[in-house]
């Protein structure tokens, strides 16, 4: 090294007029003071808080009569909350439940809420608050974290004993089992034996439930990217052999249309024209022996009890509708176990002064499976509920 180079290096290290002083840990480091970190944190918090609010202003969300969350958007809990916020009528009654309330085999105008409107002569009064694939452990989480707009409303809460037909349905089996809406169930306590998610999955679910911004990100993934992150959507194949990657050259942001997708007007999987819309015995099915889970051992029943208490603590006026379970599908020797569980549910509701209606079992041909009615089944169910004196007194 010559004398000139040595002098230059010495000058830079010393911070002379020949060059600046060397910053420790590298010249490209950006180091914030405590005050700057605070300012940056406030800016990030403001952006995260404002983005979901602003998005509601610019994204078009059309709610039609008999609206229900589209099947493809069943895991868009942020949109579910937004739908509840759009209920303007303070006298509206929200019908909460699983796919029985949602209407698995029927169109939106064939659901329980639709026929309750018709029987009471008040179009739009009963709101379909069901979500496809839901169950008590998940419904508890949905109401707890995304059901704030439900406060101080009348609630018709469906109690479906389908979730006690086996340890697998109850989620109390010790064998690992995948299930819908796992991000809504309790992640740490109470423990769900068949739920084996790792710590990262559980913590991300907790963050999504607590932070509107993260729930909004999930909304974007559900509505515009087929339930994928942008990265995985870009790399997704079309399922063919050999696979093709139709999204790899597409601009991801172009997929955002600022309009919530709607369900198909004529769903080929639902409604009287669907091949699925038929009696449960049409395919040769016969009565079944169910492995009933006793109430005192059921995770789903405990979640239902906690949900009722949560709603009442929030000022909701709750009425429980049991069923409509397809008793025709229960083997004769298995029916006493079902009746014992049903009577136990009734006793608990009576003990806690919770209004309830237990409609008579529908005719066999009006069921599509163990718990879902067909269109005419919902019509008859609504008629029986509305003519029940306990329901009429509660509705007043």
Q: What would the DSSP string read from start to end of 250-281?
A: S-GGGG--SBPPPPPTT-TTSSTTSTT-S-GG
**H/E stretch holding 301:** helix 299-313
Look up residue 352 and give its two tokens. 């806690």
Q: What are the structural domains, with CATH classification, of the chain?
A: 55-193+258-395 (3.40.50.1110)
Instruction: Give phi and psi for 156, each to the nearest 5.
Output: -95, 115
What is the Cα–Cα distance from 373 to 358, expressed in whole angstroms?
A: 15
Question: Element (H or E) spanning 168, and its range?
Answer: helix 167-170
Token duo for residue 249? 């050259």
Which residue do the tokens 């009442």 mark? 312
Cα(268)–Cα(281) distance, rounded to whole angstroms?
21
Mean pLDDT by 10 residues, the chain (396 residues): 50 52 58 88 92 94 93 96 94 96 96 96 94 96 96 96 96 93 94 93 92 93 91 87 87 93 89 94 91 96 97 96 95 95 96 96 96 97 96 93
Q: Are 208 and 78 in contact (CB under 8 A)?
A: no
Question: Given this model, what pLDDT does residue 249 score?
Answer: 87
334: its two tokens = 């298995």
| Contact criterion met (CB below 8 Å) for 341 and 304 | no
Rounded distance, CA 162 to CA 61, Å? 33
- Give the C-alpha separation, 170 to 56, whole Å: 36
Classify residue 176 by its DSSP letter: -
Q: CB atoms < 10 A from the CB of 95, how many?
A: 22
Centroid of chain to Cα 303:
15
pLDDT of 283 reads: 83
The pLDDT of residue 11: 47
Q: Could you tell me which of 108, 53, 39, 105 has the C-alpha nearest to residue 82?
A: 53
Q: Beta partners for 330?
A: 288
Rounded CA-CA distance 154/32 in Å is 52
How many CA atoms lie less than 13 Å away from 351 in the CB half-sphere?
Answer: 8
Cα separation, 276 vs 269, in Å, equals 6
Q: How many angstroms separate the CA atoms of 256 and 2, rounded?
A: 61
Long-range CB contacts (< 8 A, 24+ apart) of 85-92? Answer: 85/149, 86/61, 87/127, 87/149, 87/153, 89/124, 89/125, 90/153, 91/125, 91/154, 92/124, 92/125, 92/126, 92/127, 92/153, 92/154
Per-residue model confidence (pLDDT) at position 248: 87
Tally of CA atoms within 13 A in the half-sphere of 273 that contains its CB: 5
């Amino acid at each position: 090294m010559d004398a000139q180079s040595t002098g230059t290096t010495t000058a830079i290290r010393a911070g002379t007029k020949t060059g600046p002083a060397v910053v420790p840990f590298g010249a490209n480091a950006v180091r914030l003071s405590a005050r700057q970190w605070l300012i940056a944190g406030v800016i990030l918090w403001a952006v995260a808080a404002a983005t979901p609010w602003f998005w509601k202003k610019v994204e078009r969300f059309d709610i039609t009569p008999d609206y229900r969350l589209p099947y493809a958007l069943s895991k868009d809990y942020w949109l579910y909350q937004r739908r509840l916020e759009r209920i303007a009528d303070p006298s509206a009654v929200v019908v909460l439940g699983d796919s029985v309330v949602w209407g698995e085999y029927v169109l939106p105008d064939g659901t329980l809420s639709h026929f309750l409107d018709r029987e009471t002569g008040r179009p739009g009064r009963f709101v379909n608050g069901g979500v496809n694939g839901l169950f008590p452990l998940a419904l508890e989480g949905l109401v707890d974290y995304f059901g704030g707009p439900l406060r101080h409303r009348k609630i018709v809460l469906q109690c479906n004993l389908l979730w006690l037909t086996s340890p697998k349905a109850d989620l109390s089996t010790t064998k690992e089992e995948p299930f819908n809406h796992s991000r809504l169930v309790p992640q740490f306590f109470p423990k769900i034996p068949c739920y084996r998610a790792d710590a990262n999955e559980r913590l991300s679910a907790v963050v999504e439930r607590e932070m509107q911004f993260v729930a909004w990100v999930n909304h974007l993934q559900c509505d515009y990217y087929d339930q994928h992150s942008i990265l995985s959507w870009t790399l997704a194949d079309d399922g063919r052999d050999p696979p093709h990657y139709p999204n790899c050259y597409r601009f991801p942001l172009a997929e955002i249309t600022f309009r919530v997708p709607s369900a198909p007007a004529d769903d080929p999987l639902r409604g009287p024209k669907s091949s699925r819309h038929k009696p449960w015995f049409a395919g040769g099915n016969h009565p079944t022996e169910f492995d009933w889970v006793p109430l005192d051992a059921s995770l789903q029943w405990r979640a239902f009890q906690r949900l009722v208490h949560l709603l009442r603590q929030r000022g909701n006026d709750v009425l429980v509708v049991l069923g409509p379970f397809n008793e025709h599908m229960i083997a004769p020797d298995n029916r006493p176990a079902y009746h014992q569980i049903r009577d136990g549910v009734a006793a608990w509701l009576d003990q806690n002064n919770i209004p309830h209606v237990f409609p008579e079992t529908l005719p066999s041909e009006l069921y599509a499976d163990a718990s879902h009615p067909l269109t005419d089944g919902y019509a008859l169910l609504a008629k029986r509920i509305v003519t029940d004196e306990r329901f009429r007194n509660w509705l007043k």
